[in-house]
């Protein structure tokens, strides 16, 4: 069984459930999800998202870096996957600043 074919772990399922709470037109950060799940590791969140077998229905594209830059997508940090992530976010109504960062008003925190 390849890593892509293995079923999601319980931790990954919790991450994917958290994604379902992020409304369209909003983003959250790897750190916000880590705090929400009390896991303490934004990197673990990123690894779970990288293996998301339910994309795009489970919207991993709505997770960005703490500095509100776009972060990664499908394991890439530049190139066409990042362009695709930005297009998905723009279609959902996420606003970007002139410097390419996401407008803070678009950031979802789980305590809202």
**Total-model pTM:** 0.89
pLDDT class of 17 with cuts at 50, 70, 90: very high
Query: Please, what are the domains in the chain?
Result: 10-105 (1.10.10.10)
pLDDT > 70? residue 4: no
For the stretch 38-57, pLDDT in tens is: 998 999 999 999 889 988 88
Task: Reply yes or no on whether the pLDDT at 2 is more than 90.
Answer: no
- Given a contact cutoff of 8 angstroms between Cβ atoms, the answer to whether 68 and 101 are in contact is yes
Active-site amino acid positions: 60
């Amino acid at each position: 069984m390849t890593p892509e074919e293995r079923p999601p772990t319980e931790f990954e399922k919790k991450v994917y459930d958290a994604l379902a709470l992020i409304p369209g037109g909003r983003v959250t950060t790897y750190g916000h999800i880590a705090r929400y799940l009390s896991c303490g590791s934004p990197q673990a969140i990123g690894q779970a998202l990288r293996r998301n077998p339910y994309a795009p229905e489970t919207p991993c594209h709505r997770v960005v870096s703490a500095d509100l830059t776009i972060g990664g997508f499908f394991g890439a940090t530049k190139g066409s996957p990042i362009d695709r992530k930005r297009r998905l976010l723009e279609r959902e109504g996420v606003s970007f600043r002139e410097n390419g960062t996401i407008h803070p008003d678009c950031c979802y925190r789980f305590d809202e």
